[in-house]
Amino acid sequence: MRLTSLTLNRYRNLEPQTLKPGPLQNILAGSNAQGKTNLLEAIYVCCVGRSHQTVRDRELIRWGEETASVSLDCARRDGIHRIEVGLTLSGRKTIRINGSPIHRIGDLMGHINAVIFTPAELSLVRDGPSCRRRFLNMSLSQIRPDYFLWLQRYHQALSQRNALLRAPEGGVLATLPVWDAQLARAGARLTADRRDFCARLAVHASEIHAELAGGESFTVSYSAAAEADDTERLEAALLALLINNRENDVRRGITTAGPHRDDIVLRIDGADARVYGSQGQKRTCALSMKLAEREIMREETGEEPLLLLDDVFSELDGERRRMLLGFIGGTQTFITCVSAEQEGLPRQEDALVCDVIAGRIRPRGRYRAEPGERETGSDDIFTDEPEPSDAPRQT
């Protein structure tokens, strides 16, 4: 798939403008705080309906304004998909697909697929399980719209069950089995999809990683609260788990096990990557997982997903840059950097280079690498979501 047009209005610090991206590499160069990440975010919002940086849509609206919008045209094999996202300060979000409003965010999933890689993605390997679940949720929602619906159902049932657990007076606990059944049903589907996804991710990620990291072995496996061969048995296993945990859950006021607590186990040469990996190894693992995600998206949809690479090249040495460029070959890619020349960025003849200055994106033309390029470092931007607390309830 290829973005052919992108229009921004009052989106963060970006000037109102329409861009015509190049078909392959699009390099967005500019010093800090000019709007490069905001531009990638705007594209991502059209893919999944929300930012990769914040859960608060109102932050996306330019300060002092009431509304914002971003729209794009994406050419796919089956034609042009036009996505328009409108936001208001009061919290209303409208999404149109080819001119028709959608009523559920799930209907947006799968129209435009993107893999986003930012320095914050290091959290995939470095931080707690919630980062890895979020990765699974974001990725699976894009390739399997059904997954997103089950995820919504799961979270609805989970918050109902947790509300009951926190206020178990007056015999309301008698309704717990209703929520247990719903949780088990939705949870089984999430577990099955995640397990399948992780098995495929494992194959691609280990191959990619071996190349990027000179033969180092990298394994990926899904670690679930409930194990069983098929969805039906998974449902039964999850239900048994919920019933078994009931007493403990009531005491703690929270649902202590289930897909919302599952994790992905990552190992480098047999050792837990999160605990023993160096910063550089973790970064390479995260990149391998993201590139593996892209392979799965391609297999599932038959389309090349967009690649959004934020400040990635400055973190890699020359050899890894070359390898990454080899991997991303014929894909439409949006790459941010401080200076394409200094970071020794792509030599693809048809790369479109744009300067991003104070929210304005100015196409500069095609990139030609200068001899004597040098390497630079850049600031890491790390974000994380807090882990859900499972501390005992205070009464």
Ligand X SMILES: Nc1ncnc2c1ncn2[C@@H]1O[C@H](COP(=O)(O)OP(=O)(O)O)[C@@H](O)[C@H]1O
Q: Which residues pair with 79 in a beta bridge?
A: 76
CB-wise, 176 or 335, nearer to Mg ion? 335
The β-bridge relationship of strands 306-310 and 271-272 is unpaired
Query: Per-residue contact track with Mg ion, 249 to 288, x per CB under 5 A?
Result: ----------------------------------------
34, 123, 139, 288: residue in contact with ligand X (rule CB under 6 A): 34
3 state SS of 63: coil
If one asks whether residue 30 binds ligand X (CB under 6 A), the answer comes out as yes
26, 38, 288, 332: residue in contact with ligand X (rule CB under 6 A): 38
Q: Which does 32 bind (CB under 5 to 8 A by kind): Mg ion, ligand X, none?
A: ligand X
Measuring CA to CA, how many Å separate 179 from each of 122, 162, 260? 35, 10, 15
CB-wise, 37 or 288, nearer to Mg ion? 37
Distance of alpha carbon 56 from alpha carbon 144, whole angstroms: 24
Residue 323 backbone phi and psi in degrees, to 5: -65, -45
CB-wise, 297 or 337, nearer to Mg ion? 337
If one asks whether residue 12 binds ligand X (CB under 6 A), the answer comes out as yes
Q: Where does this chain touch Mg ion (CB under 5 A) — which range of 34-42, 99-107, 123-131, 292-300?
A: 34-42
Based on its alpha-carbon atoms, the radius of gyration of the chain, rounded to whole angstroms, reads 22
Burial of 311 (0-12, 13-18, 19+ CB in 10 A): buried
3 state SS of 201: helix
If one asks whether residue 288 binds ligand X (CB under 6 A), the answer comes out as no
Q: What DSSP assignment string belongs to 208-256?
A: HHHHHTTT--EEEEEE-SS--SSHHHHHHHHHHHHHHHHHHHHHHTS--
Q: Which does 59 bind (CB under 5 to 8 A by kind): ligand X, Mg ion, none?
A: ligand X
Number of Cα atoms under 13 Å in the Cβ half of residue 281: 18
If one asks whether residue 118 binds ligand X (CB under 6 A), the answer comes out as no
If one asks whether residue 37 binds Mg ion (CB under 5 A), the answer comes out as yes
CB-wise, 36 or 283, nearer to ligand X? 36
Distance of alpha carbon 243 from alpha carbon 260, whole angstroms: 16
Q: Where does this chain touch ligand X (CB under 6 A) — which range of 32-40, 264-272, 344-352, 368-376?
A: 32-40
Nearest residue to Mg ion, using CB? 37
If one asks whether residue 123 binds ligand X (CB under 6 A), the answer comes out as no
**Shortest distance, position 14 Cβ to ligand X, whole Å:** 8
59, 272, 350, 387: residue in contact with ligand X (rule CB under 6 A): 59
Give the tokens for residue 12: 């963060």
Give 61's DSSP letter.
B
E-strand stretches of 252-322? 263-268, 271-272, 306-310
CB-wise, 64 or 79, nearer to ligand X? 64
If one asks whether residue 52 binds ligand X (CB under 6 A), the answer comes out as no
Give the tokens for residue 207: 């191959």
If one asks whether residue 380 binds ligand X (CB under 6 A), the answer comes out as no
**Shortest distance, position 379 Cβ to ligand X, whole Å:** 9
Q: Which does 30 bind (CB under 5 to 8 A by kind): ligand X, Mg ion, none?
A: ligand X
**Shortest distance, position 45 Cβ to ligand X, whole Å:** 13
Distance of alpha carbon 153 from alpha carbon 37, whole angstroms: 32
Binding site for Mg ion (CB under 5 A): 36-37
Binding site for ligand X (CB under 6 A): 12-13, 30, 32-38, 59, 61-63, 356
